Amino acid sequence: FAERLVAISNEMKAQLNDKAPEEGIFRIGIADTVAHLWLTDLLKVWREQHPMIQFELTINLSQALYTQLQEHHLDLAIMVYSDHSAILTQPLCAYPQSWVATPEFAATHKVSSIQDLAQLTILSFPINTGPGRHLQQLFKDQPEMPKLHTSNSVSGLMAMAEQGAGVALLTDPLVQGAIDAGRLEKLHVYPEAPLLHFCTGWRQDEDRILPQLLAESASQLIQSPLNHGGSTSIEDGKY
C-alpha cells in the first residue's frame, strides 16, 4: 500500500517537473464523505509534490464549499457535483449509495420500495444539500414526506443509523465496515439509489496553476488501484 502511494507520487512529480514550484498557504475544502474515505492518502501525495505549500483544510457540506469558493475563502474544493457558472469543475469519481439500517430494524420493518421508506424515519443530510434535495425529489409523489432526522456530518448519520434511529442513505464505501461487522444491513429497495458524483472545483478567475495540478493529482490517485470503491466512469458526459 505505502509503496503504491510513493509510486503514484513519483509519477505525478515526474509529470510536473517542468512547472514552476509554488509556496505559501493553499486553502482546500473537502466534502465530509471524501474526508472519511481517502483524504489522508491524498495529503501524502500533495505534500510529496508540493513541500513548500501549507495546506489549510476545511471539511464541510458541499453546498457550503461552493459558497466559500465563490466568496474567495477557498482555493480548491473536492465536493459533490453541482453546476455553478463561476466554478470550473473536473469529474473525480462516483460512489454507489445504499439504504442501510440495523439488522434489528430491518427484521421488524418490511422495506422494498419508496412507499415503504416513506412510512419510516429517514436519516439524511440537511434538506438544503444535494442529498437532501434528492430525497425531496424521491418522495415528491408520496402522500407526505417521511419523518427526517438530519445531520451535517457523516459521523452523525452513521451513529444514528447504528443506534437504530432510522434508515440512512450513505455511500457504500462508508458503510461497508459496519455491514461487515454486523452493525448495519443493506435494504434492497427499488428503484436503486443513484450514484453520488464528486468533482474538484476552483474559480473561473483563478490565475494560479496549482488548483489544476492538485485536481490532476486527486484524479490520478482515485483512478489508481487505491480508489477506495469509487467508479470513475461518467455516463453521457455528465457527472
Nearest CA to 117 out of 152, 174, 169, 171 is that of 169
Alpha helix (H) residue ranges in 71-171? 103-108, 114-117, 130-138, 154-162
Distance of CA 42 to the CA centre of its chain: 14
Higher pLDDT, 223 or 155: 155
Higher pLDDT, 67 or 11: 67
**Residue-level pLDDT at 206:** 87
Mean pLDDT within 18-47:
88
164-213 confidence digits (pLDDT tens)? 999 999 999 999 999 999 999 999 999 999 899 999 999 999 888 999 99
Nearest CA to 239 out of 195, 201, 202 is that of 195
Please tell me the least confidently modeled range out of 43-52, 80-89, 157-166, 167-176.
Answer: 80-89
Cell numbers placing 69? 469558493
Query: What is the spatial distance between Cα 171 and Cα 187, in angstroms, rounded to a whole number?
Result: 13
**Residue-level pLDDT at 226:** 52
Q: Enumerate domains of the chain plus CATH numbers.
A: 2-94+197-237 (3.40.190.10), 97-187 (3.40.190.10)
Say whether pLDDT at 235 is over 50.
no
Task: Work out the pLDDT band at 23, boundaries 50, 70, 90.
Answer: confident
Higher pLDDT, 2 or 92: 92
Query: What is the spatial distance between Cα 91 and Cα 104, in angstroms, rounded to a whole number?
Result: 38
**Residue-level pLDDT at 85:** 83
**Burial category of 200 from C-beta neighbours within 10 Å (exposed 0-12, middle 13-18, buried 19 and up):** buried
Say whether pLDDT at 74 is over 80.
yes
The dihedral through the CA atoms of 38, 43, 44, 49 has a sign that is positive
Cell numbers placing 61? 457540506
What is the four-CA torsion angle of 135, 136, 139, 141, rounded to 10 degrees?
-150
Task: Work out the pLDDT band at 215, boundaries 50, 70, 90.
Answer: very high
Query: What is the spatial distance between Cα 113 and Cα 96, in angstroms, rounded to a whole number?
Result: 18
Nearest CA to 87 out of 104, 96, 75 is that of 75
Query: What is the spatial distance between Cα 133 and Cα 112, in angstroms, rounded to a whole number?
Result: 21
Non-local (6+) Cβ contacts of 168 within 8 A are: 99, 100, 101, 122, 123, 124, 157, 158, 160, 161, 175
Q: Phi and psi for 216 in degrees, rounded to 5?
A: -65, -40
199 DSSP 8-state letter: E
